[in-house]
Structure 1
Amino acid sequence: MPHWRANDWSLPRPSVVVGFLLLAVPPLALFGVGVWGTLLPRGHVVLSPILAAGTLAVGAGIRCEWWELRRVIRDGAVVVDGARWNLVAVAGGTLLTVAGATELGLSPIVSASLVGVGAAVVVQRVAVPVYCGAFVGMTSPEVFGSYWQVTLAAVLAGLLFTAAHPVFHGLGGKLGTTAFVGVSLVAVPTAGSFQRGALPGESAVVSVVGVAALGAVVTFAIHTRAAASPVLASGVVGAVGGVLLPLVFGHSGRLFAAATYSASFAGMTDPRRIPNEWWLGVTGVGVGLVVVYTLPFVGGSGGKLGTIAFGASLGIHGTLRLVDLFQLVRRGYRAPAEETT
């Protein structure tokens, strides 16, 4: 449609590099913070090596994606279709989610999930940026005390959405990480007060990991086997979990709902990145552990759950790529220079 072409943006190479770096740092940082969380008084130090290995895997995933970034840089400028409409969509998703939470009394998870479902059904062409904006809108009022802050965060997330368009394709949690960066850029300078959650008991940790694994697998199955869009699949899983889990499990159900919703973002991953439900279940386990052990840090920040899912997806994808490369090397294959530098 011509009116979309008029809103195309041509991205210079430096902006793509900045977008890549802004998305690469937060998941690595949150996984590192998760290791710290296992060392706190109610933490489980036995899990420290597991989360430390996960942090290294996230780094490996980022390193693999660096090859794709180099290809983008080598090819020159990138044209993003409908970039101005994407900015409007991110802002719209943000304000709709805030309205659902403040005016209708919905939980942030349910509000964002319904915005995602609505966008996937009504405005499919911009459903992805709308869903990105919904994650900005999940930010707690303790972090953003005014509409100008949340609007500014939405604008910054929208700009990053465009700048990072050519990189990290098909990895679940990218939208949440985009929102998290926008929120952080506004919250930190304006002295936003992040929430600090308490670490749960051992039995709750096991339950969180279980529901996260299930949430990732179910979301992946819905969008790969039922031909639903990833946004619709995540929105449905988030809405169902956000309503039912708190009703059934009370206060603990809120944590279960958060883990389920976070894992649903991992379930949005393209099967060319993570191939099947088995590996998505492993990804969900990583999501659940990091959700638990980052509870004392940057709570109430929109996009945090997505950033955790992004890190887990990066870690599994990077691990699988390194295993494939190792097997090829054993068979006598030599990687091209761009994959070894």
Structure 2
Amino acid sequence: MRHWKAPEWSLPWPPVVVGFLLLAVPPLVLFGFGVWGAILPRGIVVLGPVLVFGTLGVGLGIRYEWWELRRVIDEGTVAINEAHWNLLAVVGGTLLTFAGVAELGVSPIVAASVVGIIATAMVRNVAVPVYCGAFVGMTSPALFGSYWYATLAAALAGLLFTVAHPVFHGLGGKLGTTAFVGVSLVVLPTTASFQSGPIPGQPVLLPVVGFAALGAIITFTVHTRSAASPVLASGLVGVAGGLLLPMFFDVSGGLLAAAVYSASFAGMTNPRRIPNEWWIGATGIGVGLVVVYTTPFVGGSGGKLGTIAFGSCLGVHGTLRMVDIFQLARHGYRPPEEETT
């Protein structure tokens, strides 16, 4: 019996470069907003330089990923399998999550987490693009206004999911950044305005950072030390945080849940990118800081939490790469990618 095989098509390098750039810019923007938030009146000015250093780390991580992109370009075209199913999966995840938020009143964090968990159980082969779509669906109904806008944003995110497939492999938050780009491309040309909130008081900062580090570590540990996929690990942490933290921490519970869920995306990182729980915990700390200090900016946008995680992962990964290269240089070895620059 002859089995049906999904069509395969080749992706030329110009769309890959566009996909790379579309994913590289948002984390820099959000970390820049974090610096701005830290120096506002309710911020902690001393954290400004810390976040500046983090932003430079994001740029460093992007620089090293550019080397990977050049390798992809040198290899010519990229084969993409089942692109049409991935696009449908992104749209499906978006509409399910958006319906849960708009029609059932479920919190965006819980809705997206549940969709991710269900996807891993029922459609495991496309669970990743479904989860990407779930982040699009987390967008506030006040921004989208209708399912048509949600579907358009999902389609754009689905296209970016395909063209950016060869780059930023294994870095947590890539799916959320993909969603954030799709949402932004739909919302920015309209009259809708992103939501804004006050920067939380200083007593909240330490719990947010602590819970974020814990969320990242738990997610990373679950998916690297068990059979659970990164999507399932993040979904479980998201459901737990989204349900329990608002229950036990009345005023700050929503912010804590957002920080934990954002950090869970960092915890989805492949250990070949960030090697252990210590560094993942540091990534979670960065996530917590940026979640707090970007509260006044681009609120209500699906993918914002993932983009913050993506930036933090890029920063830590870039720093680790730089340390490795310095150590190699001390022994007289020059990495091949440096020789081409």
Distance in 2 (alpha carbons) for counterparts of 1:184 and 1:162: 18
Deviation at 1:9, TM superposition (A): 3.2
Q: Which residue of 1 aligns with 2:205?
A: 205
User: 2:27 is matched with which residue?
Assistant: 27
CA distance in 2, matches of 1:193, 1:201: 24
Distance 1:56 1:96 in 2: 37
1:307 aligns with 2:307: yes
Note the 1:43-192 alignment, pairs <5 A. Answer: 43-192=43-192
Matching of residues 265-280 of structure 1 within 5 Å: 265-280=265-280
CA distance in 1, matches of 2:76, 2:338: 16
The one-letter amino acid of 1:66's match is: W
**2: CA distance, partners of 1:15 / 1:55:** 26
Letter in 1 for 2:6: R
Counterpart-to-counterpart distance in 2, 1:192 and 1:56: 31
Partners of 2:171 and 2:126 in 1: CA distance: 18
Identity %: 72
CA distance in 2, matches of 1:130, 1:194: 24
Cα distance in 2 for partners of 1:138, 1:116 equals 12
TM-score, normalising length from structure 1?
Answer: 0.98
DSSP 3-state at the match of 1:45:
coil
Letter in 2 for 1:5: A
Contact 2:102 2:141 in 1 (8 A): no
Which residue number corresponds to residue 5 of structure 1?
A: 6
Rate the CA distance shift 1:114–1:4 in 2: closer, same or farther, 3 A: farther
Taking the aligned partners of 1:230 and 1:339, their CA distance within structure 2 comes to 35
**Does structure 2 conserve the Cα–Cα contact (< 8 Å) formed by 1:4 and 1:82?**
no
Shift in CA distance, 3/27, structure 1 to aligned 2, threshold 3 Å: farther
User: Does 1:240 pair with 2:240?
Assistant: yes
Q: 1:25 to 1:253 in 2, by over 3 A?
A: same
Shift of 1:199: 0.7
Number of aligned residue pairs: give it: 340
Alpha-carbon spacing, 1:337–1:277, altered in 2? closer, same or farther (3 Å): closer
| Structure 2 Cα separation of the partners of residues 3 and 285 of structure 1 | 47
Whole-Å Cα distance in 1 between the matches of residues 339 and 56 of structure 2? 18
Distance 2:189 2:181 in 1: 13
SS at match of 1:142: helix
Describe the superposition over 1:57-102 as per-residue Cα deviations: whole angstroms up to 9, x where unpaired: 0000000000100000011111111000000000000000011112
Secondary structure at 1:5's aligned position in 2?
A: coil
Change (3 A) 1:3 1:300: farther
Amino acid paired to 1:110: V
Gaps of 5+ in 1: none
- SS of residue in 1 equivalent to 2:177: helix
The 3 A distance-change label for structure 1 pair 145 and 339 is farther
Matched, 1:219 2:219: yes
| CA distances 1:187-218 after superposition (whole Å, capped 9, x unpaired) | 00012210001111111011100000000000
Pair 337,253 (structure 1): closer, same or farther in 2 beyond 3 Å: closer
Structure 1 residue 339 displacement after superposition: 5.2
Report the Cα offset of residue 4 of structure 1.
Answer: 5.0
Cα distance change, pair 157–337 in 1 and its aligned pair in 2 (3 A): closer
Structure 1 distance, partners of 2:56, 2:18, is 22
TM-score by length of 2: 0.98
For 1:238 and 1:137, locate their aligned partners in 2 and report how far apart those are by CA, in whole Å.
15
Deviations 1:127-172 (A, max 9, x none): 0000000000000112111111111000000000000000000000
CA RMSD of aligned residues (A): 1.1
Partner of 1:297: 297
Does the CA-based 8 Å contact 1:67-1:339 persist in structure 2?
no
Q: Runs of 4 or more off by more than 6 Å in structure 1?
A: none
Q: Secondary structure at the match of 1:143?
A: helix
Question: Could you tell me how far apart the structure 1 residues matched to 2:240 and 2:101 are?
Answer: 16
Give the Cα–Cα distance (whole angstroms) in 2 for the partners of residues 339 and 197 of structure 1. Answer: 47
Deviation at 1:26, TM superposition (A): 0.3
Counterpart amino acid of residue 245 in structure 1: L
